[in-house]
Amino acid sequence: MKDRVALVASGALLLYVIAMTALVPLGPGLIALEPVEATPLQRFEVVGLGTHFAGQTTQTRVFVGQPGAVWEWRVLEARDNSRLLVEAVWPEKLKSKSLDVFVYHPTDGTLLLENALHVDHLPVDAATAFPPLSQPIPSGDGLGLHFPFQPQIFESIRNLLWHVPMWFTMFLLAGIGFVASIRQLGSNRLLPADGQAEAASRVALFFGLLGLITGSIWARFTWGTWWVDDPQLNGALVTVLVYGGYSVLRASLEDAMLRARLASAYNLFAFVILVILLLILPRFSESLHPGKGGNPGFNAYDLDSTLRLVFYPAVVGWGLLGWVLYRLGLRMDLVTRWMESLDPPLDPGPSTTPNSPLP
Amino acid sequence: MNGRRRHGVAVLLLHTFRTELRKAHGWMGLGLFALSSVYAAYRSVGPRAEAGTWNALVWLVLMFSAFNALARPLADDVREVRQYHMHLLRPQDWIVARTLYHGILLTALACCVWVAFAVFMGTTHFEGTRFFWMLLGMVVTAWSLAGAITLLSALAARAGAGFGLTAVLGIPLVVPILLLSARFGQAVISGLGAAEKWESLLFLGTFGGGAAAMGFVLFPYLWRE
Amino acid sequence: MKLLSILFLQATPMEAVFFGSGKAWVVLAVGATILLGLVGWIWRAQIRLKELEQRMKSMDAEQTKP
C-alpha cells in the first residue's frame, strides 16, 4: 500500500514539475550597458532581454554604483523594448572602478546587472561617503509567474529542477545504503540489511549517472563544454565510479556471507568518499560550479519565490521516485532469490507470460 | 604493551619482504615493466617531449607500475596462511604492515621510474633543484597510492579475484590522486613557489592518509572468517 | 492559451518561439508521456510483485505446516 502511495505521489509531483519546466517563462533581465559611440561617457544604452522598456518610460528609473553607494542616471528614451537610452551623471569621486546597474520598470520590476561598467576617468576613494537616495529603489513587478533571470544561465535554469534533486536523491539513497551496511557489518549473520544496501546503492548509482548527464548538458549550455576540470565535477565522477565498483564487487563474489561482509565494508568506504568529495572538499576549493568557492551559487536561485514553488516539490518528487525504485529493486531481488531457491527452482529468466514486468 | 604492538608490525613487515624477495621474479617483472614503459615513451616522444607531455607520461607510468605492484597477490594471500595469521596477529597490525610494505615497494618503484626518466627523457624542463621536487612528489604519490589502495587490494585478494577487481575498485581513487600529482608536476615545471608545491603535497598526503585511516578502521571487519 | 497568458507572462523572445509554435506543449506532452509510461510500468510491476509475494507466503506456510 505504501509503495503504491509513494508511486502516485511521486508521479503527481513530477508531472507538476515537468509542466512547470515546460511552461513557466523566463523573467526579464539586463545583458549589457553599452556606451553610445558619439558620446562615450555621457550617454549609454541599457540592453535588456525580455524587457518591456517601450511602455511606461516615464516611470522607469536607472541607478548606478555599488550597493550602499548608488546614484541615479537620467532616462532619456526607450529605443525599443530591449534598449533604454540613458544620460550619465557623474559624482566627484567613486568608491570603486566597477559599477553595477539597477533598472526599475513598473512591469519588469528591479533588474540588476553586476559589474556593468568599468570607469577610469574619475578618482577612486574607497572611503567616499555617498548620500543615500531620496527614496529607496522601488521594487515589485507586473509580471505573472516567471523564473529568475541569471546571467550566463538564462533559460537553462529549468535544469535546476532536475539536476539538483537528482543529486539529492542520490545522497538520500547512498545514506540508506550506508545505514544498512553498518547494520550488516556489525553482525555475524546475513541480514536483510545486505539486500537493502545492494538495492539502495544500485539506485544511488543510477541517480548519480543521471546527475552527471544533466550536469553535463547544463555545462554545455552555460560554459560551452560538456566537461570542465573542476573539483566538484571530478568528485562527482569519482563518487559515481566508486558506487559502480560496489556493484562490480558484489558481482564477483559467490558466497553470500563473504559478499555481505566485503560489500558492506566497501559501502562504508564509498559513503565516506562521497561525503568528503561532494560535501566537504568543494566548500574549500575554487569552483565554477555554483554553491562553493567564490560563486553566489545555489542560494541566489533559491531566494526566488517562483523557483521555490517548483523546486521543493521537485526535490520531494524525485526523492520519492528514488524511494519507489529502491523498494521495487529490493522486492524484485527478494522474489527472484526465492524463485531460485525453490526445488525445482523457478527460473526467473526470460518470462513466458506476455506482460510480465520481470525481464 | 606498546612494545608488543610494534613488534607485530615489524615482524610481519620483515617476513613479507623476505617471502617476496624469495620470488625475485615478481620484483624483476615490476622493474622491467616500469623500465620498458619509460623506454616506450622515449621511443615515441623522446627528449623532444614538451613539458606537458613529459609530466603526463611520468604520472601515467608511475600509475600503471603502481597498479601492477598493488594488485599482485602476495605469497601470504593464501587461505591457510591467512588463517594462521588470524590466530597470531591483530588485524590492525596486519593492515599497517601491508600498507608499509606497499609504501616501501612503491617508493622504490618511484625512484626507479625517476632515474629512468632522467636517463631517457632528460631533465631539460627542470632547472636546478626542481627535479628533486619531482622526486619528492613521486614519493608522496607512491605513499598516497599505497594508503588508498591497500585496503582494496586486501579486499580483492580475500574475494579471490586479484588483479582485475583491484583495478576496478582502485581506479576511482586513483583518479583524484593522479589529478593532484599532475597538478603538482605542472607546478614544479612552471617554477611555482614552494608554498603552492607544499600545498599540493599536503592535499596528496591527506587524501592517501585519509583513505588509509578508513582502511585501518574497516579492516578488522574483514578479518573474521 | 488565454489562460496561459493570464497565468504566465510571455517574457523573452524564446518563450514566444516556443509558445507561438506550440513547441512548449510538445515538450510537456512528451515529458508527461514518458513519466506516465514509467509510472504505469512500475504500477504493474508492483501488482505482479504482490502476487508473487503472496505465492511466496503461501508456499512457505505450506512448508511449515506440520
A217 and A158 in a common domain: yes
Backbone angles phi, psi at A197, to 5 degrees: -60, -40
Highest mean pLDDT among A86-95, B95-104, C55-64: B95-104
Mean pLDDT confidence for A277-300 = 67
Domain ranges of chain B: 2-223
Check residue A153 and give its pLDDT.
86
In this structure, is residue A169 part of a structural domain? Answer: yes
Q: Do chains B and C touch (3 or more CB pairs under 8 A)?
A: no
Residue A350 falls within a domain, yes or no? no
Task: List subunits contacting chain B, requiring 3 or more Cβ pairs under 8 Å.
Answer: A
Asked if the Cβ–Cβ distance from B169 to A272 is below 8 Å, we say no
Cβ within 8 Å of residue A10, ≥6 positions away: A317, A318, A320, A321, A323, A324, C39
pLDDT digits (tens, 9 = 90+) for A6-27: 999 999 999 999 999 999 988 8
Please tell me whether residues A162 and A253 are part of one structural domain.
Answer: yes
Tell me the pLDDT band of C14, cut-offs 50, 70 and 90. low
- Nearest chain C CA: its distance from A94 CA (Å): 35
Query: Which residue among A229, A237, A269 sits closest to B218, beta carbon to beta carbon?
Result: A269
A167 plus A312 within the same structural domain: yes
The helix (run of H) or strand (run of E) holding residue C29 is: helix C23-64
- Could you list the residue range(s) of the whole structural domain that residue A159 is in? 154-341
Residues of chain A neighbouring C21 (CB-CB closer than 8 A): none
Q: How far apart are CA A46 and CA A43, in angstroms?
A: 10
Burial B82-119 (b: 16+ CB within 10 A, else e): eeebeeebbbbbbbbbbbbbbbbbbbbbbebbbebbee
Residue A285 makes CB contacts below 8 A (sequence gap 6+) with: A231, A232, A292, A293
Beta bridge partners of A73: A62
Grid cell, residue B46, equals 623522446
Is residue A218 located within the same domain as residue A284?
yes
Q: pLDDT tier at A40 (50, 70, 90 boundaries)? A: confident
Which residue is closest to A185 within chain B, CA to CA? B221
- In Å, how far from its chain's centre is CA B38? 17
- With beta carbons under 8 A apart, name residues in chain A contacting B214: 268-269, 272
Residues A97 and A163 in one domain: no
Residue A45 pLDDT greater than 60, yes or no: yes
Lowest mean pLDDT among A49-58, A129-138, A181-190, A252-261: A129-138
Are residues A267 and A206 part of one domain?
yes
Percent share of chain B, pLDDT over 90: 24
| Whether A208 and A334 share a structural domain | yes
In terms of domains, do A185 and A294 share one?
Answer: yes
Judging by DSSP bridges, how do beta strands A109-118 and A98-105 pair with one another? antiparallel
Asked whether residue A14 is domain-assigned, the answer is no
* Rounded average pLDDT over C5-31: 67
Q: How far A35 CA lies from chain B's nearest CA (Å)?
A: 40
Name the pLDDT band for A358 (thresholds 50, 70, 90): low
**A316 in the same domain as A259:** yes
Cβ distance of A11 and C14 shorter than 8 Å: no
Low-confidence ranges of chain B (pLDDT < 70): 1-6, 162, 225
Confidence of residue A294 (pLDDT cuts 50, 70, 90): very low
pLDDT tens digits along B104-135? 999 999 999 999 988 888 888 787 778 888 99
Size of interface A-B (CB pairs under 8 A): 63
Q: Is B172 on the interface with A (CB under 8 A)?
A: yes
Closest approach of C39 to chain A, Cα-based (Å) = 6
The answer to whether C54 contacts chain A (CB < 8 Å) is no
Chain A residues with CB under 8 Å of C15 CB are: 25-26, 50
Task: Name the residue with higher pLDDT: B174 or A283.
Answer: B174
CATH of the domain at A48: 2.60.40
Neighbours of chain A (3+ CB pairs under 8 A): B, C
A262 with B151: Cβ contact below 8 A? no
Contact A328 C52 (CB under 8 A): no
The rounded distance, in Å, linking the Cα atoms of A22 and A135 is 39
| Residues in chain A within 8 Å Cβ distance of C37 | none
Mean pLDDT on A330-351: 81
A42 and A88 within one domain: yes
Q: What is the dihedral of CA A273, A276, A281, A287, to 10 degrees?
A: 50
- Across the interface, whether the CB atoms of C25 and A4 are under 8 A apart is answered no
CA distance B65 to B34: 6
Is A320 in the same domain as A240?
yes
Q: Which of A118, A136, A171 is the last residue of a domain?
A: A118
Q: pTM of the entire structure?
A: 0.84
Do C28 and A23 count as a contact with CB atoms less than 8 A apart? Answer: yes
Pick the range with the lowest mean pLDDT from A83-97, A236-250, A299-313, C11-25: C11-25
The residue among A14, A162, A210, A327 with the most chain C CBs within 10 A of its CB, best to mutate, is A14
C49 vs A22: CB contact, 8 Å cut-off?
A: no
Q: Mean pLDDT in chain A? A: 87
Between A176 and A303, where is the model more confident? Answer: A176
Measured distance CA(A166)–CA(A330) in Å, rounded:
20
Residue A285 included in any domain? yes
What is residue B127's three-state secondary structure? Answer: coil
Tens of pLDDT along A234-261?
899 999 999 999 999 998 888 899 999 9
Together in a domain, A216 and A299: yes
Contact C12 A50 (CB under 8 A): yes
Q: A342, A208, A227: which is closest to A271 by C-alpha?
A: A208
**Closest by Cβ to A25, choosing from C11, C36, C59:** C11
SS3 for A91?
A: coil
Helices (H), chain B: 2-22, 24-44, 51-71, 79-88, 91-120, 130-159, 162-190, 194-223
**pLDDT range class, residue A341, cuts 50, 70, 90:** confident
What pLDDT is recorded for position A279? 84
pLDDT of residue C8: 47
Q: Which of residues 13-42 of C touch A (CB under 8 A)?
A: 13-15, 19, 24-25, 27-28, 31-32, 35-36, 39, 41-42
Cell reading at A251? 558481482
End-to-end Cα, chain B, rounded Å: 26
Q: Which positions in chain B touch A261 (Cβ < 8 Å)?
A: 221-222, 224
- Report the gap between the CA of A280 and the closest CA in chain B (Å): 13
Residue A123 confidence (pLDDT): 82
- With b meaning 16 or more CB within 10 Å and e meaning fewer, what string describes A6-24? bbebbbebbbebbebbbbb
How far is the CA of A319 from the CAs of A11, A170, A186, in angstroms? Answer: 11, 8, 28
> How many folded domains does chain A comprise?
2
Distance from CA of A181 to the nearest CA of C (A): 25
